[in-house]
A and B are shown apart, each in its own frame.
Chain A
Amino acid sequence: MKKEDVRVCILRVGGTNCDVETKRAFTELGVRAKVYHINQVLKQRVLQNSEALVIPGGFSYGDYVRAGAILAKGLLAKLGKDLERFIDEGKPVLGICNGFQVLVEAGLLPGFNGMGSHPEAALATNIPVGYRCRWVYLRHENRGNCVFTSKVSRGAVLKIPIAHAEGRFIFPRDKERRYLEKLYENDQLVFRYCDEDGEYAEGRYPINPNGSFHDIAGICSPTGTIFGLMPHPERAYYGWQLPDWTRMGSPPTYGDGRLIFESMVDYVVKSF
């Protein structure tokens, strides 16, 4: 399909606060992105008329119960059928930060057994405890399954900021090794925290900013069409969003975050 016909649904509820930046990222790429409240999505059956869904960052429902939990269960209860169809059609779903927490709580990521209602992972309180908002380095691990990183070469190091208090990715303790193997087998591992030179954090703080298991910052579904990550690519979209751009001789026009939106749009244009 043509780029200008691509419709991106950016879902918001009370507490979402990164919807506008996310919309701007897509608009800049020449697609039709619109922010919808969950009730609007339900009433106007927006999912049926969209090619991509994004759950942006923020603090949906005040992060009560657990970050992302209320929106996750609400999504399944209110939009479960529509969402299932959307996913079955291979349409991409992106969860950024709180959106990643939602996808994990909804059982859509890692989604080893397809769409399930029980989470197979959790995004737990950061270690050390606290809200952390700063730039991190991510190493791209995917071997080609993830449709959101097709424009990023394997092993590339991306610089994108994080902003969260609950980003420690964990598996059930007794299944840690087995689930990690599955991530590799299915090519679901997308980003790991690393240093500037691409050396893995291996759990070391502050390179791994939250104590995530295996330095995991972002994973995708076995199909590669659902992707969640804790860092905010929409905050690394333009060169002037980089923290040191005024000190650079010639700052880049775009930041690394743009690659994720570009890859996603490219996939939709080619597939639908």
Chain B
Amino acid sequence: MEYIARVEVSLKPGHSDPEGETTKNSLKELNYPVRDVRVSKVYLIRLEASSVEEAESLVDEMCRRLLANPVKDDYKFKVEEKP
């Protein structure tokens, strides 16, 4: 079966986000009433697995092994069967 995972990797709360900070300042300069900006990275992964559970466990492993650095990143994901 083919599944699609949408993985979002973001900085842990409390960790400085210089990219978000710079974006926030830029948006404020454009006169938008912006209070805060945090930048995340999204991966759309198509993968083979025999069940949703297996796909989820594989994606979780991918996050732990490569996509997120546990020192500074949080991750969340959603796995769906490919329509």
- Using a CB–CB distance below 8 Å, which chain A residues touch chain B? 65-66, 69-70, 73, 105, 117-122, 124-129, 170-173, 211
Contacts and interface: CB of A to CB of B under 8 A. Distances in A.
A171 B66 CA distance: 18
Interface in B21-78: 21-22, 64-67, 69-72
B19 interface: yes
Contact of A129 (B18, B69, B70): B18
The dominant DSSP class at the A interface is: loop
Nearest to B64: A118
B18 A127 contact: yes
Interface residues on B, range: 10 to 19
28 contacts: A65-B66, A66-B69, A73-B65, A73-B66, A105-B69, A117-B65, A118-B64, A119-B69, A120-B71, A121-B71, A122-B69, A122-B71, A124-B16, A124-B72, A125-B17, A125-B19, A127-B16, A128-B18, A129-B18, A129-B19, A129-B21, A129-B22, A170-B15, A170-B72, A172-B70, A173-B14, A211-B16, A211-B18
A11 to B, nearest CB: 19
B67 to A, nearest CB: 6
B69 A69 contact: yes
A121 B69 CA distance: 9
A173 B16 CA distance: 11
Given A65-B67, A70-B66, 10 more contacts: A65-B66, A73-B65, A124-B16, A124-B72, A129-B22, A172-B70, A172-B71, A172-B72, A173-B15, A211-B18
A13 to B, nearest CB: 15
Contact of A126 (B12, B18, B64, B69): B18
